[in-house]
Structure 1
């Protein structure tokens, strides 16, 4: 695989955003690396970032602040983009042979030959160093918690080969930000952060099962395990249970943090958005499933805005 020359260096990744600036304006030499980091698929870093912002907003409510710390929000943004890129690069290195067997993923930079494995590994290190630089801006406990996130990140790519629901391990990794926003403010982990983490894991399993609808047939041929394959005809019900658990646990976290009406309305609207996804899901429609998966950015932003508004309202009232 390392010696393959890309037959088409301009080959757009199958599930990338159409007309993205990476494919139109980025220098040709760097396009494969931007694709490797999933810059042309921003939904990934959004889904990594939003739990950080939820946690920061809950911490603002609990601490009596008027709003989440802007510096923390900015650091989480930079860290999410960098670590999403690093995680994706690592995943693609581990899965390069499997990806070549799946229609949606064989156009990725490594299986298509646009980037060699050694080049990808160096790019991985560069992105990880950016993430480390961001992490070092936080308190000691937050740094230790952040480093611990590398465990589920490291093992996830290999779970597709042995676990019937590898999305559970993905949830452990992608939900980690639900701990970070809280520990960055308080220097410890409390019940609201842990409940938020549990709810976010359930959210990740739900939305990634929707995402996996695109690959069911190819995954069966390649022997790749996924929650979509495991749940089969029970998929909509299973996603509904995941989303129901997510809303319940996040709601409990909000209540324990002292959230008022505005924040709970945000939780309710978030839950309603998730219910709408389940009702609209057609397990035979991969393109539609991709659209529903991407809509989780909007669901997450709704929740964040509700929690942030609650912090501001409570601060104004108490002041």
Structure 2
């Protein structure tokens, strides 16, 4: 396989080496070669499901919900990335890191990408229909945010807020699925997750800050610039406080609070470690948020199991 057929910021993965040649452009469209986005979409779902199970004092359905959320996050993150690449195809062609993506590289037509998008959405709908009616309606409500997100970088310095609204939606879904309602704890968890997303996506956006400045794309990375570290401390600190309020409202026990403390320590480590001039390090620190989120989930899961017994 030629280097030109690969995506510049993702090479040497299973898509390059194992997947059939005909499928590779589509797998790259959906970012199946880069699962970090799936993890970051999934983790708020798992937080919410575990927290809601603790409120219900019932973990009997939690394993099923964990699996369904994983499948749903996998396909819907792929659908979101496909939609993003369709809308951003002209901008992607002007950025070094993204010009080799399937659409600007001519590997997939817009019509083919749209058909692939519909197929992914239908799989996601099939997963969503396994839940109660309230959860189905809650899940569908998120699609408007997903649809408008790619355009936000053209009109606001804060596209990361809209990404946070979309990527944190799972913080509401766990309560909708488990309890058939959205409690105040879910809303505080949602707000905390949004603040977390703003922080980690600012780190991610620093990879493209120079190209974004040349083509006029806006981001919090460009907005904060050299002030990124104090901005991260503010957003990460706010995330910890807001999630802490959610735990308090949900009556969480000590395992959840231990998980939150470890999560907070990880965010402090990220902020101290970051060097915005080092794009490789920015990507590494950004990806480490999967570990931070899973550490909090572990605490919430242990707490849910303890409260159910």
Specify the TM-score bucket, using the shorter chain as the normaliser: over 0.9
Task: Tell me whether 1:308 sits opposite 2:308 in the alignment.
Answer: no
- Given that 1:67 and 1:308 are in contact with CA atoms closer than 8 Å, whether structure 2 keeps it comes out as no
2:84 aligns with 91
- Superposition deviation, residue 65 in structure 1: 1.8
Whole-Å separation in 1 of the counterparts to 2:98 and 2:253: 44
- Superposition deviation, residue 68 in structure 1: 6.1
Q: Aligned to 1:164, which of 151, 157, 160?
A: 157
**What are the residue-to-residue correspondences of 1:230-249 with 2, within 5 Å?**
230-249=223-242
2:189 aligns with 196
Q: Deviations over 1:216-246 (max 9, x none)?
A: 1000011111110011121111111111111
- Superposition deviation, residue 167 in structure 1: 0.6
- Given that 1:82 and 1:130 are in contact with CA atoms closer than 8 Å, whether structure 2 keeps it comes out as yes
- Superposition deviation, residue 132 in structure 1: 0.6
1:134 aligns with 127
Gaps of 5+ in 1: 1-6
1:255 aligns with 248
Q: Secondary structure at the match of 1:202?
A: helix
How does the TM-score come out when normalised to structure 2? 0.97
Q: Aligned to 2:72, which of 62, 66, 79?
A: 79
Q: Secondary structure at the match of 1:29?
A: helix
- Given that 1:66 and 1:314 are in contact with CA atoms closer than 8 Å, whether structure 2 keeps it comes out as no
Whole-Å separation in 1 of the counterparts to 2:295 and 2:259: 6
- Superposition deviation, residue 12 in structure 1: 2.3
Q: Deviations over 1:170-198 (max 9, x none)?
A: 11000000000111011111111000000
- Superposition deviation, residue 305 in structure 1: 0.6
- Given that 1:240 and 1:275 are in contact with CA atoms closer than 8 Å, whether structure 2 keeps it comes out as yes
1:226 aligns with 219
Whole-Å separation in 2 of the counterparts to 1:76 and 1:59: 14
Q: Aligned to 1:12, which of 6, 10, 13?
A: 6
Whole-Å separation in 1 of the counterparts to 2:212 and 2:15: 28
Give the ranges of 4+ consecutive aligned residues of structure 1 lying more than 3 Å apart after TM superposition: 7-10
Relative to structure 1, the CA distance from residue 172 to residue 301 in structure 2 (aligned partners, 3 Å threshold; closer, same or farther) is: same
- Superposition deviation, residue 19 in structure 1: 2.8
- Given that 1:14 and 1:107 are in contact with CA atoms closer than 8 Å, whether structure 2 keeps it comes out as yes
- Superposition deviation, residue 315 in structure 1: 2.8
Whole-Å separation in 2 of the counterparts to 1:297 and 1:59: 21
Cα RMSD, aligned residues only: 1.3
Gaps of 5+ in 2: none
- Given that 2:30 and 2:78 are in contact with CA atoms closer than 8 Å, whether structure 1 keeps it comes out as yes
How does the TM-score come out when normalised to structure 1? 0.94
Whole-Å separation in 2 of the counterparts to 1:163 and 1:44: 22
Q: Deviations over 1:95-131 (max 9, x none)?
A: 0000011111111111111111110000000000001
- Given that 2:45 and 2:170 are in contact with CA atoms closer than 8 Å, whether structure 1 keeps it comes out as yes
1:36 aligns with 29
- Given that 1:193 and 1:253 are in contact with CA atoms closer than 8 Å, whether structure 2 keeps it comes out as yes
Task: Tell me whether 1:113 sits opposite 2:109 in the alignment.
Answer: no
